[in-house]
Amino acid sequence: MNNSFSAEDLEFQKEVREFFATEFTDDLRERAKLGSQVKEVATEWQRKLYEKGWIALDWPKELGGTGWTAVQKFIFENERCNAGAPDVVPFGLKMVGPVIFSFGNDEQKARFLPRILRSEDWWCQGYSEPGAGSDLAALKTKAVLEGDEYVINGAKIWTTYAQYADWIFCLVRTGNFDKRQHGISFILIDMKSEGITVNPIHTIDNRHTLNEVVFDNVRVPAENLIGVENQGWTYAKALLAHERTSIAGVADSKRWLEDIKTLAAKQTNANGPLIEDPQFQSRLSDIEIELKALEYTELRVIASMSSGQTPGPESSLLKIKGTEIQQQLQELRMETIGGYAGSLVDEDFANDLQQAGSMARRSYMYGRAATIYGGSNEVQRNVIAKAVLSL
Amino acid sequence: MNQSLENTEQRSVDSQENKMNFEFNEEQQMLKESMQRWFQDNYSFEQRTVIANSDDGFSREHWETFAELGWLSIPFAEDFGGYGGNIIDTAACMEEFGKVLLLEPAFPTLILFGGLIQAGNNSAAAESIIPQIIEGKVLGALASNEVQARFDLSNIATTASEEGDEFVLNGSKSLVLGGAHADHYIVSARSSGEQTDDDGINLFLVDKDAAGLTVSPYKLMDGQQVADLQLDGVRIGADKLLNEKGNGYALLESVLQSAHVALSAEALGIMQKLNATTVEYTKTREQFGVPISSFQVLQHRMVDTFMAYEQTKSLLYGTLCELTDGTTSAEEADMTVKALRTIVAKYGKLVGDEAIQMHGGMGITDELDVGHYVKRLMMINLLFGNGDFFQKQYNQLAY
């Protein structure tokens, strides 16, 4: 048993820390916090990462990725969170990029990958449909080949940032077979195509992040199909392997926990600061202890990956526990702040607490999605039941 | 002695050791496997039940075998003829002991009694007694608890008054683990200070036949045979003191830290066994014409107990690393130990309760092993502190 990083890894950690200290400026931090310039801030920050060569953690080196080990990625994620820097927008870099370089042809690779690395195209994900959520294979959006074009009809839903997107990658039905997973294809669609309508979905955080994307006889060149027709499900599943290292969000949660401690040290009444209240302390340590255990669970997965094993369905555990902890922290943060956490204010804050409150409200409300997206936590439990416990 | 174990200097040279990993090393794996093989042949639940119902409540014959196999030497330094194991070696063994619900007094004799003698400053006592422990000739017990103290180690009303080169002990001790069969006791007694002061505490080695000592044995629900002690003017030579006079508290605390980790490892072994038993049972038990394992409501509950086990395991292995890495501060590692016992209490209860519930009526029968595992888990979480007690200690250190 050994929980120590190697000397090289510690050297690497130093380099990463210095990078964040100089490149993630206070200006970027403030704008990222406000959350009103999502696209501008993300693009600006991601260009800096691109120039450093640190934009694509999961890509092979020869394609412009970092080629980092699991431990290096873990270190990078920790330093990123400590610096308060946002994660890259995942749809291009973490989702469609790996599918293109794993299953796409050379033309597709040359056409799309460099633009993804340079944040020149904004991508969104077209998986879920009004009638296909956790049961993704029930999807009905149809693609019919006519000449050298597919004609697409149907609707996708919960599409994050579709309002900014240049491209959407979609799972569409190209055939009907006994097994529903068969007959699904993976296709790339230009959002400027005729026949696409983006309808905003306003969420309980009083923001606009999600959309419905409707396809009405949208014509897509057949060359935009990834891999083989009807095999898209396999590609979508393989992509999950690329999402695993930061799935638990441990580093983010650790930072939030520290924020709550700072807030609780300032909140004082006649009995002293909130942080000294025994009842509050127990609520905090309930979460902190669980998080500490989860950090070691994540390290166990990383250590086994480093010795050549692929993480199995245990990563469902990271997703379940990680998102449960995130939600507990969001709740405790609101309660720590008090009534101000209800503030519906997005700028010109009356004071720091009102700003913290408004942000806490937003992340609590939108945070309800974490146990739903990426396969709801109930579906994750089904996965563990079947694949780990053989039930 | 030490037939199957060798003291190899190369243990730390194992190349796996230099990389981050949360596995037992090859040697610890071999030790665990050899224990598993022996238990498979000699320690089925039926065989254990016969031992539990015997007069001693454990098997002296098995204890001798453990000595021959070298198991009793693991936590002791090579200078005493021990194996020179660290806390990771101890945890490796305790996991196995948990899986079979070991009745033999490994925890009271090796971890508490032996641990205190080894960590104390009385080298004459260590040199004479530790080799006897390793040979299986001596059983010992720690008498630290008092009826008014609950979990507070420094709440000691038993007095030690110095008379010449002797101390005279007066008071009573409760819930002495392994106390029914101990050859020697380590008794905590106060030479100065108020009843709850950390200063003024001493640890004395007291022979079971000492004049003025009354031992009242009884059983616990997990099969352990413990005792309460009454000390009426027990005269002890100053040479039986294990610490510098009045400074026994730090010694007690440091050995208790190892004890917390050892009990957590035992609890983890029990949780693993309970989860595996429950999953297997639901696959064979049919109701409404199908195995009950096909019900999603039960599947999700078994996933929750699986995650509880994995989280406990992660924190235990993390604690083992922090205690041995040479870089984590003592205060930080101590916090992690308190966190560990907090989570063991929380998830021990979950795993135990769910195992009984999912076994249905069978779960509450004495015939099935499940209830016995649950009782031991419950005892672990009532020894030297419960979940709230440890969480409060954690809070005090953390905030």
Sequence letter at residue B275:
N
Say what the pLDDT of residue A36 is: 76
All residues of chain B having their beta carbon less than 8 Å from the beta carbon of residue A315 are: none
d(Cα A68, Cα B122) in Å, to the nearest integer?
53
Q: Is A177 exposed, middle or buried (0-12, 13-18, 19+ CB in 10 A)?
A: exposed
At A233, list the tokens.
Answer: 């499900």
Instruction: Kindly list the distances between the CA atom of residue B10 and the CA atoms of B87, B91, B321, in Å, as whole numbers in the listed order.
Output: 18, 20, 19
Can you say whether residue B101 is alpha, beta or left, with left for phi > 0 and alpha for psi between -120 and 50 degrees?
A: left
Say what the pLDDT of residue B8 is: 44
Q: Among residues A114, A116, A215, which one has the least CA distance to residue A159?
A: A215
**Preferred mutation among A1, A378, A383 to probe B, highest tally of B CBs within 10 A:** A1
Q: Is the pTM of this model over 0.90?
A: yes
Surface of B (23-52) touching A: CB under 8 A: 23-25
**Residue whose tokens read 């000691």:** B156
| Interchain pair B395, A285: CB under 8 A | yes
Can you say whether residue B285 is alpha, beta or left, with left for phi > 0 and alpha for psi between -120 and 50 degrees?
A: beta
- Full DSSP string of A58-106: TS-GGGT-----HHHHHHHHHHHHHTTPPPPPHIIIIIIHHHHHHHS-H
B305 interfaces chain A, CB cutoff of 8 Å: no
Please give the share of chain A, as a percent, with pLDDT higher than 90.
81
CB B149 within 8 A of CB B162: no
Kindly report the three-state secondary structure assignment for every residue of chain B: CCCCCCCCHHHHHCHHHHCCECCCCHHHHHHHHHHHHHHHHHCCHHHHHHHHCCCCCCCHHHHHHHHHHCHHHCCCCHHHCCCCCCHHHHHHHHHHHHHHCCCCCHHHHHHHHHHHHHHCCCHHHHHHHHHHHHCCCCCEEEECCCCCCCCCCCCCCCEEEEECCEEEEEEEEEEECCCCCCCEEEEEEECCCCCCCCCCEEEEEEECCCCCEEEEEEECCCCCEEEEEEEEEEEEEHHHECCCCCEHHHHHHHHHHHHHHHHHHHHHHHHHHHHHHHHHHHHHCEECCEEHHHCHHHHHHHHHHHHHHHHHHHHHHHHHHHHHCCCCCHHHHHHHHHHHHHHHHHHHHHHHHHHHHHCHHHHHCCCCHHHHHHHHHHHHCCCCCCHHHHHHHHHHHHC
B342 interfaces chain A, CB cutoff of 8 Å: yes
Task: Identify any residues that bridge with B171 across adjacent strands, giving them in sequence order.
Answer: B231
At A93, list the tokens.
Answer: 């870099």
Give the pLDDT band (50/70/90) at residue B103.
Answer: very high
Say what the pLDDT of residue A171 is: 97
Say what the pLDDT of residue B16 is: 52
Tens-place pLDDT, residues B39-50: 999 999 999 999
B327 interfaces chain A, CB cutoff of 8 Å: yes
**Mean pLDDT, rounded, for A24-47:** 88
Tens-place pLDDT, residues A61-96: 999 999 998 899 999 999 999 998 989 999 999 999
CB A157 within 8 A of CB A212: yes
Say what the pLDDT of residue B221 is: 97
Mean of per-residue pLDDT scores for chain B: 95
Can you say whether residue A154 is alpha, beta or left, with left for phi > 0 and alpha for psi between -120 and 50 degrees?
A: left
**Residue whose tokens read 């180690």:** B153
Q: Has the ipTM of the complex gone over 0.90?
A: yes
**B340 or A32: which carries more pLDDT confidence?**
B340
Q: Is the dihedral of CA A225, A228, A233, A239 positive or negative?
A: negative
* Dihedral Cα B53, B55, B58, B60, nearest 10 deg: -140
Whether the predicted pLDDT of A344 surpasses 90: yes
**Mean pLDDT, rounded, for B249-256:** 97
Q: Among residues B132, B129, B110, B133, which one has the least CA distance to residue B205?
A: B129
Tens-place pLDDT, residues A135-153: 899 999 999 999 999 999 9
**Residue whose tokens read 């017990």:** B141
**Mean pLDDT, rounded, for B137-144:** 98
Say what the pLDDT of residue A14 is: 96
B18 interfaces chain A, CB cutoff of 8 Å: yes
Say what the pLDDT of residue A279 is: 96
Say what the pLDDT of residue A245 is: 52
Surface of B (137-156) touching A: CB under 8 A: none
B318 interfaces chain A, CB cutoff of 8 Å: yes
CB A15 within 8 A of CB A76: no
Active site residue A290: no
CB A318 within 8 A of CB A326: no
Consecutive H or E run containing A172: strand A167-173
Range in A240-249, A305-314, B286-295 with the lowest mean pLDDT: A240-249
Q: Which of A23, A44, A243, A314 is catalytic?
A: A243
User: CA neighbours within 13 Å on the CB side: how many for B50?
Assistant: 7
**Mean pLDDT, rounded, for A176-190:** 95
Q: Among residues A68, A64, A59, A63, which one has the least CA distance to residue A16?
A: A68
At A207, list the tokens.
Answer: 């923001």
d(Cα B233, Cα B186) in Å, to the nearest integer?
16
User: What single DSSP character describes residue A370?
Assistant: G
Say what the pLDDT of residue A31 is: 87
User: What single DSSP character describes residue A300?
Assistant: H
| Interchain pair A299, B20: CB under 8 A | yes
Give the pLDDT band (50/70/90) at residue B19.
Answer: confident
**Which of A5, A282, A286 comes nearest B20 by C-beta?**
A5
Q: Among residues B29, B156, B153, which one has the least CA distance to residue B96?
A: B29
Beta strand A149-157 pairing with A208-221: antiparallel
Task: Identify any residues that bridge with B60 across adjacent strands, giving them in sequence order.
Answer: none
CA B351 to chain centre: 20
Residue A1, helix vs strand vs coil: coil
CA A51 to chain centre: 22
Tens-place pLDDT, residues A87-137: 999 999 999 999 999 999 999 999 999 999 999 999 999 999 999 988 899
CA distance A316 to chain B (A): 10
What end-to-end distance do the CA atoms of chain B give, in Å? Answer: 49
At B177, list the tokens.
Answer: 């683990």
